[in-house]
Structure 1
Amino acid sequence: MAKIQSVEPNIADLANSWLKSYKLDYKLEQESLNTEIDQALNDYYSKNGGVGGNRPDAKLLLQDKKLVNYPILIEYKGYKDKLVKLDSEGKVANKTAKNQPDFKNINSYAVNGAVHYANALLHYTSYTDIIAIGMTGFKDDSGNLEYEIGVYYVSKSNFGIGQKVDDYTDFSFLKKTNFDKFIDKVKKLRLTQDEIERLKEQREQEINTSLVKLNNDIYQNEKGLSERDRVYLVAASIIATLGVPGKVAALEKQELKSSTEEENRDGDIILRKIKAFLNEKNLPQEKRELIVRTLQNTLTTDNINKVENGESQLKRVFTKIVDDLGIYYKIGLTTDFTGKLFNEMYSWLGFSQDKLNDVVLTPAYIATLLARLARVNMDSYVWDFATGSAGLLVASMNEMLNDAKDKIKSPDKFAIKSAEIKANQLLGLEILSEVYMLAILNMILMGDGSSNILNKDSLKEFNGHYGFGKTDEKFPADAFVLNPPYSAPGNGMIFVEKALSMMSKGYAAIIIQNSAGSGKATEYNKKILKHSTLLASVKMPIDLFIGKSSVQTNVYVFRVGEAHQKDDTVKFIDFSVDGYTRTNRKKASCNLRDTDHAKERYAELVDLVRFGKSKLNIFTEKEYYEGKIDPENGADWNQTAPIDTKPTLEDFKKTVSDYLAWEVSNLLKNQSLEDDRLGK
């Protein structure tokens, strides 16, 4: 059978003739568009999985009425049915079932190739909105050229997956007179919440793979770097490549020249970029100096800047970090992504061998639960006395910003409130300097609530005041969230007692080893109840921290500023079945699955704690129990619903019914045996 001839040259000729007729300044495969885009296409892995060398068939930059530049990347094919390959959910299928790049699809289909190029720009450039166009065709029996076009929007808002814009029969939507209307249509594209959740899950799997690869690569190939150095290098590299639009350009890999010239070594260049970035973030000077001082020790050492074979170790590590992680913070991180990032980096610190440092970082959905149980809103002042990587503060900040977005309809006023929340309404304390740097980076990535993240011992050094700028002013905390180190006195209740004693009002939600409520923290608990009321005790799933810890935990919720009375009602909730199925398989595509209405269960839990049994829906009174505690006891916080052993009339009827059925069965059986005997 004769091989079908590709008509790609005909397709390219037709499409390029349109672009020429629209008087657009387009560039062909080998031509340069601009240095930033050229470099990104060269650095990104190729359509075959090799290193670099991505070349779209045509490319151009178009500007809309708001003076925003949009890269347009076009890929041509020359066969029938080679426009686009979609997955079972209707998305561009550039990933395999194992979440690896599907090079066969990327290579064979026009749209898939164009979306691949667009992701190169998301990964390595400052462009966040790209148009990917695919076009293919064939000649019919009469020799006429048939063709089809696919136009997709690839952006950080859709996580680089690509969304179809519309059906088109030519490229005239790119004409200057039509482009603004086209961009208006693009901006109206929205992902559903389900799509967002699925894409988040997919990205979470990817970032896990990338982080493990990065850590192993640095560990195996870069000698002389401690765990602390690795964490600081990730933090420094990410800060240096974030940039501030219009003010600080993101540091590019090629700017590191591996020079031995004084003040111009790779470490010096990265440090200058970090200083420029921090200056634009309007952080207090003392905070800026502390961050620079911490990172400087690693960045300016002789060994890491020593040049061998024309390259410093620092440049190699910087390049690996940007190559492996760049896309995740370029496309706009969420708590879930940063949670993965910081859990993995935290594990690099080797704390698993140090029994004193038994902090287990809180999963993002539990962090959000604690923020909601502490009734965090846009006017809250939230603090955390053992902040770790700041996951609880990030979750609280998101709750505050979402509340502000719902209530404030003026964009100007929302921007002012958003800045106020980030600068003045969050405070975290972390004693371990390495983890402290993760917290700083986390809050900077989230945009930036790092102003009052303090590197202090919350039990010995903290007096309740702001940490920077307003050190003579008390932080007016009215919401407290905590996941303490369980090795601290009272399983960590010492932190709770101190924090709540420094508050005059508000709410608190903590997750802690449940033995804290049944005898391990009696004295601290009695002190707490002298100024705060226990509202709820929630038994959490035993496998909540699977792979990290297997202790039974409880969430305790308090109202601060009112002593607990013996007649106060406490809501005891058995939440050990929360709707999630967890596994700890390293090669599993997902270790957390919603298998039984988990989101609805978490929402119901928040309602039950706040409003009581009228909100029972999925749960029953077997899991929900209202009882009392003795404020002078301190070890009776983990109660369960009592089991009623008194038989009811229904129980009696069932027992009699079962007995009669058994008697009749026996009589029939005996009769049958008697008949058999007589028959013989």
Structure 2
Amino acid sequence: MAQSIEPNIAELGNQWLKSYKLSYKLEQESINAEIDKALFDYFTKNGGAGANRPDVKILLQDKNLNFYPILIEYKGYKNSLVKLDVNNQVENRTAKNDPHFKNINSFAVNGAVHYANALLHHTSYTDIISIGMTGYKDESGKIIHKIGVYFVSKSNFGVGQKVGEFSDFSFLAPKNFDAFIEKVKTLSLTQAEIDKLKEQREKEIDTSLVKLNNDIYQNEKGLGENDRVYLVAASIIATIGIPGKVATLEKSDLKSSTEIGNKDGDIIVRKIKAFLDAKEIPSEKKDLILRTLQNTLTTENINKVINGESQLKRVFSKIVDDLGIYYKIGLTTDFTGKLFNEMYGWLGFSQDKLNDVVLTPSYVAALLVKLARVNKDSFVWDFATGSAGLLVAAMNEMLTDAKNTITSPEELAQKEIKIKAEQLLGLELLSSVYMLAILNMILMGDGSSNILNKDSLIDFDGNYGFGKTNNKFPADAFILNPPYSANGNGMNFVEKALGMMNKGYAAIIIQSSAGSGKAKEYCKSILEKNTLIASIKMPIDIFIGKSSVQTNIYVFKVNEKHHKDEMVKFIDFSNDGYTRTNRRKASNNLKDTKQAKERYEEVINLVRFGKSKLEIFTEKEYHEATIDPKNGADWNQTSAIDTKPSLQDFKKTIGDYLTWEVSTILKNQNTDTLGK
């Protein structure tokens, strides 16, 4: 095997840096405490001594006074610059979503991107430049070098994007750096790339949540299920921080002291209070959050110090190490929904009770949002909000629409604030689940203003919960996955919500029996003022591992009475293109095996535009028919099967029979011949 020329490559690179008069730090040298600590902390998580020592570290400032950490990794072999996966992304994860240590250690760019993720995870820096450089000597002894320059940022979920082709480091020289940063800023991902990266990161979140929950469940005794949920919520809130106002809580800030008022729990409570104060959360809501979290954080057992460490500090450290990067890179995902499903997966719920805490998978949430025709100007509410997964999906749709249609950056920024503060409203009665909804919306950049801890059927008057508390929330989109144990399988929520709306659309996923007789009176009442546009039969295993009830999605036009001649679109979506498994250790329990994304898109188009959009589906799965608005039990129709045989069927049957007859005669002849 060829000899590594890493020392020569390092010398070449460092000479360039010296010639540009840059203040660079080598492997063992300190650049600043925050970066040093991040590299150290990340190293303890991934194992292997000395795993996080970039060959060179530099901190540069652009003309807008923004700081950019530059991390350089040298290698000394011909083909050790970068290892990409099939999607052309830096391959730092295995198929099982574990760190790909072989690639991280063997390839210069992969190593530099790994270090950048340490900074995304543990520091306030959100934009980092990762540089890999390697090379070899040709036959004449001349050094041939190659450079890879990647931008690793919150905006690309820490995966990294190639900036361009470079033959030296002069782009870092003071006179060129601003132009380089301008180039970096023009790097943008297509929506398809963003979706793919999000999908990839979401799988990683699932893996990390399973690992974390397993660890806490098996190794941390005395913590009830709600305690686990509250500890994760508290740890995340304490470590988000607000630039310039509230510093993030570090693991080292927890001293495991036994001093009254200064125990680890007290320190976390103070940090959460500072965060909520700076966020200007309404005092009633702030008090409820603090009270709820305080009950878990200040208990004696969790703060008891054994071998110099409290259980609280140990659990806090695990949470920050396993999950920190995912909520810091700003994934617009139902993060706490995933957390909730994972946490509750360990509980010994009976099947009936379990059905009541089942959260909507994100791809179904996105379908409901599109069926309810949500756009940037919608006002969306959910009367049984759970972890706010449906509202997160609605918010994502609204923000994407705003981004695609508003060209003024200033106007867009104002619209994004308005969407989060004024255009979403959710109600959740269960206090443990309500806490998750609040946390979810805080993580999403704060649409938590109008998440209310109220009984939507009894205590809700239709007004805003914060800000314009005397004004009605002007809802024009309703999305819902109700608790199926409620009256009429949850149709009581639908009747109440639609009765408070003047216009718009609604999409709900509910137990199918609600539309075939179980909620007859509610269904009749709803159709007196609203039109049923579509009834979609969903796959039986959509909530696999949580519940096996048959569900339907019903889509309504609000405040327009259903006429008996109205055509309803009936869609059998039993085959949605996904294959689901329920294996706890599987890296991916959801696989797109039959054009799932295209099928979901087609269902949206069929509901909106009708039969002309049939492509993948046939008239066996799609038909239009009327219902009797005074019946209330005829919402789940299927395509009529024509049992009368056609001439073609007759010909086929005769053909099949003749084929069988001939093959039998030939077989008998063969037997006779063999017998002779």
Q: TM-score, length-normalised on structure 1?
A: 0.93
Contact residue 286 and residue 468 of structure 1 kept, 8 A: no
Q: How far, CA to CA, are the matches of 1:526 and 1:29 in structure 2?
A: 73
Q: How far, CA to CA, are the matches of 1:404 and 1:318 in structure 2?
A: 37
Task: Please report how far the alpha carbon of residue 350 of structure 1 lies from its aligned counterpart in structure 2 after TM superposition.
Answer: 5.0
5 Å-filtered alignment, 1:387-402, equals: 387-402=385-400
- Give the counterpart of 1:241 among 220, 239, 242: 239
Contact residue 105 and residue 112 of structure 1 kept, 8 A: yes
**1:349-392 Cα deviation digits (max 9, x unpaired):** 65457727623100111111111111212222211111110001
Contact residue 49 and residue 103 of structure 1 kept, 8 A: no
- Corresponding residue of 2:6: 8
- Corresponding residue of 1:206: 204
- Corresponding residue of 1:467: 465
Contact residue 351 and residue 357 of structure 1 kept, 8 A: no
Unaligned runs of 5+ in 1: none
**CA pair 494-80 structure 1, distance change in 2 beyond 3 A:** same
Task: Please report how far the alpha carbon of residue 467 of structure 1 lies from its aligned counterpart in structure 2 after TM superposition.
Answer: 2.1
**CA pair 181-488 structure 1, distance change in 2 beyond 3 A:** same
SS of 1:44 mapped into structure 2: helix
Length, aligned pairs only: 673
Q: How far, CA to CA, are the matches of 1:489 and 1:502 in structure 2?
A: 19
**1:92-133 Cα deviation digits (max 9, x unpaired):** 232223322222222222222211111111111111111111
Q: How far, CA to CA, are the matches of 1:55 and 1:195 in structure 2?
A: 31
**CA pair 98-406 structure 1, distance change in 2 beyond 3 A:** closer
Residues 1:228 and 2:223 aligned together: no
- Corresponding residue of 2:101: 103
- Give the counterpart of 1:607 among 571, 594, 605: 605
5 Å-filtered alignment, 1:300-319, equals: 300-319=298-317
Instruction: Give the letter aligned to residue 230 of structure 1.
Output: R
Task: Please report how far the alpha carbon of residue 174 of structure 1 lies from its aligned counterpart in structure 2 after TM superposition.
Answer: 0.3
Task: Please report how far the alpha carbon of residue 405 of structure 1 lies from its aligned counterpart in structure 2 after TM superposition.
Answer: 2.2
Task: Please report how far the alpha carbon of residue 337 of structure 1 lies from its aligned counterpart in structure 2 after TM superposition.
Answer: 4.6
- Corresponding residue of 2:520: 522
Contact residue 246 and residue 274 of structure 2 kept, 8 A: yes
- Corresponding residue of 1:81: 79
- Corresponding residue of 1:655: 650
Q: What is the root-mean-square deviation in Å for CA atoms of aligned residues?
A: 2.7
Greater shift, 74-83 or 446-455, is seen at 74-83
5 Å-filtered alignment, 1:40-439, equals: 40-45=38-43, 49-50=47-48, 54-335=52-333, 337-347=335-345, 351=349, 355=353, 358-439=356-437
**CA pair 414-357 structure 1, distance change in 2 beyond 3 A:** same
Q: How far, CA to CA, are the matches of 1:667 and 1:221 in structure 2?
A: 71
Task: Please report how far the alpha carbon of residue 475 of structure 1 lies from its aligned counterpart in structure 2 after TM superposition.
Answer: 2.0
SS of 2:205 mapped into structure 1: helix
Unaligned runs of 5+ in 2: none
Instruction: Give the letter aligned to residue 87 of structure 2.
Output: E
Q: How far, CA to CA, are the matches of 1:667 and 1:156 in structure 2?
A: 70
SS of 1:387 mapped into structure 2: coil
Contact residue 228 and residue 349 of structure 1 kept, 8 A: no
Instruction: Give the letter aligned to residue 101 of structure 2.
Output: F
Runs ≥4 in structure 1, deviation > 6 angstroms?
A: 663-674
SS of 1:335 mapped into structure 2: coil
- Give the counterpart of 2:576 among 578, 582, 607: 578
**1:408-466 Cα deviation digits (max 9, x unpaired):** 22222222222122112211111111111111111111111111111122222222222
Instruction: Give the letter aligned to residue 593 of structure 2.
Output: T
SS of 1:380 mapped into structure 2: coil
Greater shift, 14-23 or 275-284, is seen at 275-284
Q: How far, CA to CA, are the matches of 2:664 and 2:452 in structure 1?
A: 80
Q: How far, CA to CA, are the matches of 1:654 and 1:221 in structure 2?
A: 65
Contact residue 334 and residue 393 of structure 2 kept, 8 A: no
Q: How far, CA to CA, are the matches of 2:654 and 2:343 in structure 1?
A: 64
Instruction: Give the letter aligned to residue 605 of structure 2.
Output: D
**CA pair 167-669 structure 1, distance change in 2 beyond 3 A:** closer
SS of 1:151 mapped into structure 2: strand
- Give the counterpart of 2:445 among 440, 444, 447: 447
Instruction: Give the letter aligned to residue 579 of structure 2.
Output: T
Instruction: Give the letter aligned to residue 647 of structure 2.
Output: F
SS of 2:199 mapped into structure 1: helix
Contact residue 37 and residue 125 of structure 1 kept, 8 A: yes
**CA pair 477-11 structure 1, distance change in 2 beyond 3 A:** same
**CA pair 209-461 structure 1, distance change in 2 beyond 3 A:** same
Q: Percent identity?
A: 74
